[in-house]
Amino acid sequence: MNFDYKRMLKFEHNVGAKDKKIRLISGVVLLTASLFTASIFFLLVGLVLVATSYFGWCPAYSGFGKSTCDVTDVVSDAVSDVKEKIEE
């Protein structure tokens, strides 16, 4: 398994719906734990997990060429992008 830096810089949705939920829940748990333990590490990891869940893109997944998106996720994202451009 090779890591490709050029592919990592391309913004393509590669986080599926189930993966987004897991990242969001674990990120919020880590953010909450960082409040009580004053741990910078928990805070940073929690922020990364919440951000990748929100944007639907993980740079590590891109670098390794991995994707947890279903075909329906990709199609629905493309349809919503087209609708946004039409409304503008």
Look at residue 1 and tell me whether its pLDDT is greater than 60: no
> Scanning the structure block, which residue is given the tokens 């670098």?
63
Residue-wise pLDDT tens digits, 22-50: 999 999 999 999 999 999 999 999 999 99
Residue-wise pLDDT tens digits, 49-83: 999 999 888 888 877 778 888 766 566 666 777 77
Q: Which of 20, 27, 19, 21 is nearest to 48 (CA)?
A: 27
Has residue 2 been placed in a domain? no
> Higher pLDDT residue, 3 or 47?
47
Asked if 69 and 13 count as a contact pair (C-beta separation under 8 A), the reply is: yes
How many domains does the structure of the chain reveal? 1
Has residue 4 been placed in a domain? no
Structural domain of 14: 10-87
Has residue 66 been placed in a domain? yes
Mean pLDDT of 15-20: 88
